[in-house]
Structure 1
Amino acid sequence: MTQLAVNAKSLKFTNILFKYCGYIIFIVLAIVFSIISPSFLQLQNILNILNQASVLGIVASGMTIILIGGGTHVIRGGIDLSLGNNLAISSVIITYLISKNYSFLVIIGISVVCSLFIGFINSFMIVKLKIIPLLATLSMMYLLQGTELLISGNKPIDVSNPIFQFLSSGSFLFLPSSVWVFILVEIILYILLNKSAFGNWINAVGGNPEAATISGINVKFILSLTYIIASISALIAGVLAASRLSGSVPGIGDVMLFDILLSAYMSAIFSHTSVPNIPGTILSALFVEMLTNGFTLINVPTYWVYAVKGVLILMAVAITTTQQRRLN
């Protein structure tokens, strides 16, 4: 066998490894957890993972849309560090209004207005004032964190609501209600990004904003919409989180931010083009919750879980960067 043939086979193997590395890691980890802990593959535990992934997957999909529209450049690219606290404040506002016996329509109306306002302010700072997304959303993150603590008094708010009970304990065709909400949201976002002109515009803006402008796309408007859509996704996830907790808990946004970033960035390793995408985000959210759940079952300390997640983010960025260079 010639050296050229050996190199060709080696290159082909490397390409396959990069293309399917995400799936390989996912399957290997599931096998390891199922071997160490027999309860991992029990139906109730699988449903629990799906339930937890519903909240994370929806808000992480919002982050993914921002990454697609703004690009993945570390400094200039799209990012929203406020999404975790956006979710948290939506949860607090809803539970606070429920505790004050406001009508359902009023609660939904106020929540949607607040969510749209947060998305609008983020987009205004980034698009109009041209503040770096990292800094703009960082400031919004702390603003929302302070507002959340102000509304809740830094205490949990416990509520009982029929809609929350349906979302947390209801089921249809053996799947929890929250999972069906997750499926519905992801179908809508997938169609929006992959089967519509709007999705083409977002991809064009994220890929080359100058070329998108020349082709007649309103880059500022599309970029603004990505932050507003992401804010709405945080609201939906906030409702599911509040229903699962039967209220709101201070600090949930800070806890979830790392997982949101991990799920959004890891989505790229589930794509043959190594770019963030909705199906990849779904798998990443399931992967992150499987990781947390599996480590809990085998009694791994929490600090090791965070360490592994940090390594995964580094690995995801390294793999996608390498793969993009190879494709180019």
Structure 2
Amino acid sequence: MNLTFHNSKHNANNDDKKYCCSYHSYNGGKRISVSKQEVSCTSHNTGSTSFFQHTVNSGSRVRLAAIKYYGIRTPRKRINIDSLKLPTKESAKVTVYTFYSLERNPVLIYVDFKGGIATTGWYRKGDSSAGDNEEWTEVKDLKDKAPDKLTNPTGCNSEGFKELADKLKDLGCKGLEQCTAVRTLDPEHLGQNGVQREEVPAADLSDQVPDTESETKILLQGTPVAQMAEDAIDSEDKEEEEDGPEALPQVGGQDPGTVGGTSDLEALALQIKDALGLSDLDTIFAVICGGLTKVGLTSATTYLAVWKLYKFCKSLRKDPWVRQI
């Protein structure tokens, strides 16, 4: 049996898809059939790799003498497997599935021999060799996962598929790298366009009221609105420096520091509502302003920030009051 890449590809494309030794080939007695198959992933349109199946049928009344291949610019190599004694003592069906590396050398094979002492399993090239003989060792973590059971397109979540993809990657067989890169992810952990989304647990604010402004920032740290909180305070500080202390706005007038009718602090409240999943505006108000009221409103800017948030939260409620903090 010749597992040379060119031999596999050439005969798989022939009309009869068969070959044999030089003697039988020229006498119409080709006894080894070849077919090309594919392992593909439904999760990635480009995730696939090919392999070739070589089969000696039991009805051919021949015994398998050896398994060999020729590499690129290398002499003939004979594959030896301890449990598979060659030549076989009887005519029996022998099937070998072969995966190739980028160098077009066999790197992983699956042997299925039904005669005598049955041999079934995955094998790869071992560390020892003598001359043109290569000792191939069993890959036990792929046991009982025959290639013909993996030919139907499947997803990365299939256990047998993932293990095979990992092994092929280690051996330099390309085509399923994307499957090994995302094998631990499921659709629930993927964001838009299949990009992994970082999970940020929602904060439990039921029993938390910050005591200081610094604690308020710590509570919000790690949420999408943390930076916006700092920007809102910076914006108010800048307004105070330019315009001096601000009086409360007249009824019907637009609040100072607003752009298009919406201030930075109002936008901050809405961001917190969306990011933390809060439906109670009182809780939103408490998260941002609770610590500021505890420190006694020591600056005009702090007072203005609390007053604006109070007004905004109150305007969104049907009840004409806001819970005391």
Point out the structure with the larger strand share: 2
> Which of these two proteins has the greater Rg computed from alpha carbons?
2
TM-score in terms of structure 2 length? 0.23
Point out the structure with the larger helix share: 1
Larger RCO (CA within 8 A; separation ≥ 6): 1
TM-score in terms of structure 1 length? 0.23
